[in-house]
Structure 1
Amino acid sequence: MASPRNPNSERPGTTRRTAVGLILGAPLLGACSGVQQTLSSFSNPVGGSQPAPAGPPQEPLAVGSGQVKVGLLLPLSAAGNAGVAAQSMKNAAEMALAEFQNPNVQLLIKDDAGTPQGAQQGTQQALDEGAEIILGPLFAVSVPAAAQLTRTRGVSMIAFSTDSSVAGRGVYLLSFLPESDVNRIIEYSASTGKRSYAALLPENAYGNVVEVAFKQAVGRRNGRIAAFEKYGADRAGAARTLAQALGQADALFLADDGDAVVGIADALTAAGANLKNIQLLGTGLWDNPRVFASPALQGGLYAAPDPAGFRSFAGRYRTKFGGEPVRTATLAYDAVALVAALARTQGGQRFSPEVLTNPSGFAGIDGLFRFRTDGTNERGLAVMRVGSGGGQPVAGSPKSFGA
């Protein structure tokens, strides 16, 4: 499955703090909350729909001297953006161990080369070396291959794919799933009195997932879908059709990456739609300089993690490694901090489904998150408003999950 493109690093921050505590009976992974949301590629978090070809295999690597062994699968030898992201995520994982203060964890880092075969081989090696849980892989196409082995051993996996179809029994996704964006922005808009919705979505894998989430979210709030269109190459035609029905709606949901959503807004304006008379709604993909510079999108609302957490993380990362982290680096940080916290506090059941699916959830760099029993996740997101200077928070991230 392919879809939106890949925004990578963000602005650095400076705060430093330790990485563990307790919140709501669940491990607190970090005092920093949030980040810019950037769904890279829908099945490939670093861009493109397929993993990059493998390079030469890397030497086995273990980090830390703890008794609890944790496998970490990354496409370290993959070419292009995939290899760059893998190195940044590896750095972040090591940073989490260093900031955690004497965790009883040893990371077994395996290069999966960005392929299913590599993921299966790396998983087998990690399990044979005593891994109690597997973190990774990064690509959706590699998750089922690795999961065949972890399920046979009764070992949990926390993967980084944004494709919720690969989640399932014993396979949990720690990534930015579009469903969380949609649920948050529709819940917020309904709380401000919006009842009638229009939507214009891309005809691709990302758009299909967002469509299902959008229709379910509107239904939960007893809202009405007044107009709905999807577009492929003919954006202008879909925009003309939708523009004619906008008078029946009080909110318009547009879900695409920054460049595309600007083009859609311009097409709607050209078709006669007055976007100033309707509340524009979007997803975390709106966190993009093109969106902030678009006159048509000013005042639009979108769901995303609060950016403060990533700024702080990026500052610490820059100080330690001399460069900027890719956007997915926080996923590796939070995954390692989570397993370190569970290893410290949860005894022999530390990585069991019951512990991992604690309904109180966990707090990490990217704010609150919790794993659902189906392997997908729910995130506590802020609501941001588009302004010429960037996104401005209008509703903060929740401090706890509701009952």
Structure 2
Amino acid sequence: MADKVYQGQDQTRRRRFLKWAGVSAFVFLAGCETVVPRGAEPPPVATPTPPPVTSGLPDDQKHHRIALLVPLSGKNAGVGQSLANATTMALLDTQAANIRMTSYDTAKGVTAAAQSAIRDGNKLIIGPLLSDNVVATANIARPAGVPILSFSNDTGAAGNNVYILGHIPAQSITRVVDYAKSKGVNRFAALVPNGVYGQRASSTLLRRVKDVGGTVVSIQTFNRDSKSIEAATKKLADNGDFEAVLLADNGDMAIKAAPYIRKNASATARILGTDLWNTSSNLAGAPSIRGAWFASVSDSLYKQYADKYRARYGRAPFRLSSLGYDSVLLTVKVARNWKVGSPFPINQLTDPGGFIGLDGVFRFKADGVSERALEVQEIRSGSFAVIDPAPKGF
């Protein structure tokens, strides 16, 4: 368990910032020019050793206590540490003098971490990362009336004081289908992996294409191996031609599957992707995927943040770390009207106007799921181009 408390020296400046929290925090990015390559991840680092957990924190009447639950050891330590580093940067950048953040290592037991967080008097939990950890944490936090801002994208874990910050794949599918329809595409197909993700992608595609008046010609599932992918693509066109095909998997699988689509199913259909493609640094160099469209959060602010992160920590951040930064921006904004020691004002999380962060504009719906403004990008020769910018508000 480790505490992070940051004291501002100029109270006037702090009050001015808090008035505009959620927007002015990005001023620090203006001077950055170097762009970190898409999808860059930190090299392997030694597993950090968290400070010892104490039996409780001393009484503090000056700071809002917030718990950060992330894996700081074990196989996910790199992602967890990147999220923790991002929250530190956000606290420093916002000069949040009234917030005390304490880190708890979920890799050593999420139940124990959540119990310690509640026992220590934290009024808000940021994290955890994994969906099953969210459920375990909620079982402890709900009886205590402590809300959760999770980094998960599992909508099944949302609701009843649990809010999901993660990027929801269904939203990116909806966005790219809408854009394709606006460009005259009416007949869709899909190639989806076996499993829960593929099932959800299929359901979203069917529902949205129906809503916009299009037709789904074929949906084929595959295992993540070449033989299965080839067999699935041969079945894609069994029910007729299609104008666009959703390839609902990560960037590496898209590169692997695209040549089979071109060879066995359609040489001309537009390939569509999801927000999972946003973390792939290899897509721009793959000829078979050139011309594909996918929807994701905007990268414009993230690239500048990643440059500053690398300068501070000597390595590139994980793409997911932007959620850590944005969770602090949101908290700082809410903290303007939050009395120290009182319950977190959870009603302010569902502000219909939303919040702005590194990943653009977002807001929480009543069910605890985050709704994000997404852009559509096209893969070109060695680059990505924004062909339909994200809305600037709701």
Q: Please tell me the TM-score bracket, short chain as reference.
A: 0.7 to 0.9
Q: Does residue 91 of the first structure (1) align with residue 85 of the second (2)?
A: yes
Alignment of 1:1-400 (within 5 A): 27-28=22-23, 30-31=25-26, 58-60=51-53, 66-77=62-73, 79-80=74-75, 82-113=76-107, 118-232=109-223, 233=225, 234-245=228-239, 247=241, 249-271=242-264, 273-274=266-267, 276=268, 278-287=269-278, 288-345=280-337, 351-400=344-393
Specify the SS of the correspondent of 2:184: coil
Q: Give distance in 1, aligned partners of 2:208 and 2:17.
A: 34
Q: Give distance in 2, aligned partners of 1:84 and 1:347.
A: 34
The worse-fitting range, judged by mean Cα deviation, of 229-238 and 165-174 is: 229-238
One-letter code aligned to 2:92: A
Specify the SS of the correspondent of 2:178: helix
Deviations 1:52-92 (A, max 9, x none): xx997642499x99521111111112x23x11121221111
Q: Larger % of helix: which?
A: 2
Q: CA distance change for structure 1 residues 56 and 320 in 2, over 3 Å: closer, same or farther?
A: closer
One-letter code aligned to 1:71: A
Specify the SS of the correspondent of 2:305: helix
Q: CA distance change for structure 1 residues 269 and 251 in 2, over 3 Å: closer, same or farther?
A: closer
Unaligned 5+ runs, structure 1: 1-17, 41-45, 47-53
Deviations 1:148-202 (A, max 9, x none): 1111011110111122222221111111221121121112222223222111111
Unaligned 5+ runs, structure 2: 1-13, 31-35
- Whether contact under 8 Å (1:371, 1:377) holds in the other structure is yes
- Whether contact under 8 Å (1:29, 1:365) holds in the other structure is no
Deviations 1:288-333 (A, max 9, x none): 2432222222111100122221111111112222222122211111
Q: Give distance in 1, aligned partners of 2:153 and 2:164.
A: 7
One-letter code aligned to 2:132: V
Q: Greater CA radius of gyration, 1 or 2?
A: 2
Superposition TM-score, scaled by structure 1 size: 0.81
Cα distance, 1:30 vs structure 2: 4.5
Cα distance, 1:211 vs structure 2: 1.5
Cα distance, 1:102 vs structure 2: 3.5
The alignment's C-alpha RMSD in Å is: 3.0
- Whether contact under 8 Å (1:20, 1:337) holds in the other structure is no
One-letter code aligned to 1:316: K
Q: CA distance change for structure 1 residues 22 and 161 in 2, over 3 Å: closer, same or farther?
A: same
Cα distance, 1:136 vs structure 2: 0.7
Q: CA distance change for structure 1 residues 180 and 193 in 2, over 3 Å: closer, same or farther?
A: same
Cα distance, 1:347 vs structure 2: 5.5
Counterpart residue number, 1:5: none
Specify the SS of the correspondent of 1:398: coil
Deviations 1:347-400 (A, max 9, x none): 688844421121221110111111122222111111000112221100111101
Specify the SS of the correspondent of 1:199: strand
Q: Give distance in 2, aligned partners of 1:328 and 1:300.
A: 23
Alignment coverage as a number of residue pairs: 359
Q: Give distance in 2, aligned partners of 1:37 and 1:293.
A: 12
- Whether contact under 8 Å (1:57, 1:111) holds in the other structure is yes
One-letter code aligned to 1:368: V
- Whether contact under 8 Å (1:36, 1:307) holds in the other structure is no
Deviations 1:115-150 (A, max 9, x none): 6xx222222222222211100111112111110111
The worse-fitting range, judged by mean Cα deviation, of 227-236 and 92-101 is: 227-236
Q: Give distance in 1, aligned partners of 2:350 and 2:239.
A: 42
One-letter code aligned to 2:87: A
Q: Give distance in 2, aligned partners of 1:65 and 1:392.
A: 50
Superposition TM-score, scaled by structure 2 size: 0.82
The worse-fitting range, judged by mean Cα deviation, of 203-212 and 349-358 is: 349-358
Specify the SS of the correspondent of 2:66: strand
- Whether contact under 8 Å (1:246, 1:273) holds in the other structure is no
Q: CA distance change for structure 1 residues 327 and 60 in 2, over 3 Å: closer, same or farther?
A: farther
Specify the SS of the correspondent of 1:200: strand
Counterpart residue number, 1:49: none
Q: Give distance in 2, aligned partners of 1:29 and 1:252.
A: 41
